[in-house]
Amino acid sequence: MENIIEIKQLKKTFISEKKQKVDALNNINLEIKEQEFVCLIGPSGSGKSTLLRLMAGLINPSEGRIDVMGKELKEPIKEAGMVFQEYSLMPWRNIIDNVAFGLELRRISKKKRYEVVENILKRFGLEGFNDSFPYELSGGMKQRAAIARAIANSPKILYMDEPFGALDAHTRFKMQKDLINFWLEDKRTIVFVTHSVEEAVFLGTRIIVMSSRPGEIIGDFKIDLPYPRNRWNEKFGKYFKELMGLMDGEVNKRTKKDTN
Ligand code: ADP
Ligand code: MG
């Protein structure tokens, strides 16, 4: 498989409100192949969301470059979709029109876009909710709709920033399974940010570990486990322990830095 994303010598510095420089990311080099399911983990503040926003072209690097599908990224591209933790649905639109929004922007006829979207709603367990409004849906259902909306544009790349972070454990497990099934049926490149090691080992073909600020890549693991994954599997436990060890080290380092 070819590289779909290539990041070279990337650095991102923000200027805080107090006019101080904040080095969020440093020395990031990363190549992601087509159809990989990459999970990005790291302590809070390690620059995971920043890296995802950079890959999506929502913000620009301070140094270095990002190439997506062989071209230097300058702005968001239509081949990539994004799902955030907050349900980013428009409260005044019903579910079908929320999910069909991207197709509407592309001036696809109502008949055609409803056809496409009804299929996707079915696939994501939202059958029968076409006419419901976001406030009538549970958190899990709203997040299903947000994922369905990103997928309706048939993106080659799906960027997801802690999409299940606000859901209860039971709903989260169900959503993880559904996401894996979708990806197995219809392989895309997924870059999935989470602070949960367990979620990352359950989902990813590969896990990238970020250090505390400034965020650098301190681990790159291939997860050699078949799908659907079983959390009680011995090898699952081994990956989990190894990654937890690495993450714990990072969190402790930061706590020390902060108290000094
Ligand atoms: P994570 O998603 O891993 O928790 P973020 O990418 O949100 O981390 O943030 C990384 C660092 O960059 C944090 O210290 C954060 O405060 C800082 N940061 C992020 N966005 C901005 C911004 N727009 N302005 C200033 N600082 C920012
Ligand atoms: Mg974040």
CB of 16 closer than 6 angstroms to any ligand 1 atom: yes
**What are the residue ranges spanned by the domains of the chain?**
3-79+156-165+178-259, 82-154
CB of 196 closer than 6 angstroms to any ligand 1 atom: no
Query: What is the pLDDT, as a whole number, of residue 84?
Result: 86
Query: What is the pLDDT, as a whole number, of residue 258?
Result: 58
- Choose the residue to mutate in 10, 22, 39, 161 for probing ligand 1, maximizing ligand atoms within 8 Å of C-beta: 22
Q: How far apart are the C-alpha atoms of 57 and 77, rounded to whole Å?
A: 7
225: nearest Cα among 208, 242, 243, 206: 206
CB of 208 closer than 6 angstroms to any ligand 1 atom: no
Of all atoms in ligand 1, which is nearest to the CA of residue 59? 23
Question: Treating both helix axes as pointing N-terminal to C-terminal, what angle do 139-152 and 169-185 enclose, rounded to 10 degrees?
Answer: 20
Compute CA distances 183 → 186, 204, 205, whole Å: 5, 11, 11
CB of 225 closer than 6 angstroms to any ligand 1 atom: no
Query: What is the pLDDT, as a whole number, of residue 103?
Result: 93
Tens place of pLDDT for every residue, the chain, 260 residues? 899 999 999 999 999 999 999 999 999 999 999 999 999 999 999 999 999 999 999 999 999 999 999 999 999 999 999 998 877 899 999 999 999 999 999 999 999 999 999 999 998 889 999 999 999 999 899 999 999 999 998 999 999 999 999 899 999 999 999 999 999 998 999 999 999 999 999 999 999 999 998 999 999 999 999 999 999 999 999 999 999 999 988 777 766 655 54
Structure-block tokens of residue 118 = 């009804």
Query: What is the pLDDT, as a whole number, of residue 85?
Result: 82
- Choose the residue to mutate in 23, 28, 50 for probing ligand 1, maximizing ligand atoms within 8 Å of C-beta: 50
CB of 88 closer than 6 angstroms to any ligand 1 atom: no
CB of 205 closer than 6 angstroms to any ligand 1 atom: no
Query: What is the pLDDT, as a whole number, of residue 260?
Result: 47
Residue nearest to atom 22 of ligand 1 (CA): 14
Ligand positioned closest to the Cα atom of 41? 1
CB of 81 closer than 6 angstroms to any ligand 1 atom: no
Phi, psi of 141 (to 5 degrees): -65, -40
CB of 22 closer than 6 angstroms to any ligand 1 atom: yes
Helix boundaries (H) for 157-206: 169-185, 197-203
Superfamily of domain 3-79+156-165+178-259: P-loop containing nucleotide triphosphate hydrolases (3.40.50.300)
Residue nearest to atom 15 of ligand 1 (CA): 45
- Choose the residue to mutate in 49, 216, 250, 254 for probing ligand 1, maximizing ligand atoms within 8 Å of C-beta: 49
Let me know if 67 is exposed, middle or buried by CB neighbors in 10 A (0-12, 13-18, 19+): middle
Structure-block tokens of residue 85 = 């933790």
